Amino acid sequence: ARRHRPITVEYQTERSQNIIALLDTGRMMRSPVGDVEKLDYAVNAVLLLAFVAAQKGDKVGLLTFADTAQTWIAPRSGKVQFQRMLEQLYAVNGQQVEPDYNRAFAWFNTQETRRSLVLVFTDLTGSVSGEALVAQMTRLRQRHLPLLVTVADPTVQKLARQPISEASTLYQRTVAEQLLDERRTTLERMRHHGVLTLDVPADELSIGVINRYLDIKAHGMI
C-alpha cells in the first residue's frame, strides 16, 4: 500500500540438505579385501561423498563409532567442512571391538534432529550385532532417511561357488554359503522395513555411494 503498486514475493524451496555418514570402525571393518581394509574403502567413499555433497550445496557431517561414539562433526557446508572431515578421517584407525549400534545410534539421535540422509557404513559378515543393527536402522527411519552401505567381499562369493573336491573345500563352501545367506536375509529385512541398502564390491563402493546419493537427490527423497 505504501508503494501504491502490487508487490510479488517469490519463495524458493530450501535446497541445502543434511548428509551424514556414520562410519563403523569396529573389528570387522578391519578385515581386508585384497590388500586393503574395508575401513579404508569406506573412508575413501565418505570423503568423495563429502566433496560431491559440498559441491551440491549440501551440509555434510560425520560420526565414527565402534563400541561407543567417537568423532562427531556436526553437518556444515563449504570447503572448510570438507577439510575438517579429511583431517579426522586421515587419523581414523580400526579397533578390535564389536560395534555397539545401540549406544552409537542413541548418541547420534541426541545430536541431530533435522531430517537427514544418514549413510551407515558397516559390515554384516560375522557380526554378532545384526539384530541390533536392523532395529536401529528401522528406528532411524522414523526421523531420517537411512541408507545402509556394506562392502561385498568377492572372496566369500568365490568360496561359495567353488567345486567340492575334498572335506576342506566342503567346509569352506558351507561356511561361505551360510555367511552369504545371513547377509542376504539381513539386507532383505532392512528393505522390508523401508531402509535403503547398498551392497557392492569394494572397488565399486565410492562410485556406488555417489550414484545413490545423486539418485536420492534427483527423486527428492530427503
- What is the pLDDT at residue 128? 61
Is residue 14 predicted with pLDDT exceeding 60?
A: no
pLDDT tens-place string over residues 140-198 = 999 999 999 999 877 766 666 777 878 777 767 777 677 778 888 889 999 999 999 99
User: What's the mean pLDDT when you consider all of the chain?
Assistant: 88
Question: By mean pLDDT, which of 22-26, 54-58, 85-89, 176-180 is the weakest?
Answer: 176-180
Question: By mean pLDDT, which of 78-87, 114-123, 152-161 is the weakest?
Answer: 152-161
More confident residue, 63 or 12: 63
For residues 47-71, give the mean pLDDT.
Answer: 96
- What is the pLDDT at residue 163? 79
Q: Parallel, antiparallel, or unpaired: how do β-strands 69-76 and 59-65 relate?
A: antiparallel
State the amino acid at position 17 in one-letter form.
Q
Edge to edge, the sheet with strand 69-76 lists 69-76, 59-65, 18-24, 116-121, 145-152, 196-201
E-state strands within the chain: 18-24, 32-33, 36-37, 59-65, 69-76, 116-121, 145-152, 196-201
Percent of the chain with pLDDT strictly greater than 70: 87
Q: What are phi and psi of 132, to 5 degrees?
A: -65, -40
Is residue 79 predicted with pLDDT exceeding 70?
A: yes
Q: Which of 157, 202, 152 is nearest to 176 (CA)?
A: 157
Distance CA(148)–CA(143), nearest Å, equals: 15
Residues in the chain: 222
SS3 11: coil
For residues 115-134, give the mean pLDDT.
Answer: 86
Distance CA(136)–CA(113), nearest Å, equals: 15
* C-alpha distances out from residue 64 to 94, 102, 116, Å: 10, 14, 17
Q: pLDDT band at residue 58, thresholds of 50, 70 and 90? A: very high
Distance CA(180)–CA(9), nearest Å, equals: 56
pLDDT tens-place string over residues 194-204 = 999 999 999 99
Question: By mean pLDDT, which of 26-40, 108-122, 124-138 is the weakest?
Answer: 124-138
Q: Which three cell numbers stand for residue 41?
A: 574403502
Distance CA(67)–CA(102), nearest Å, equals: 9
pTM attached to this predicted model? 0.87
- What is the pLDDT at residue 10? 45
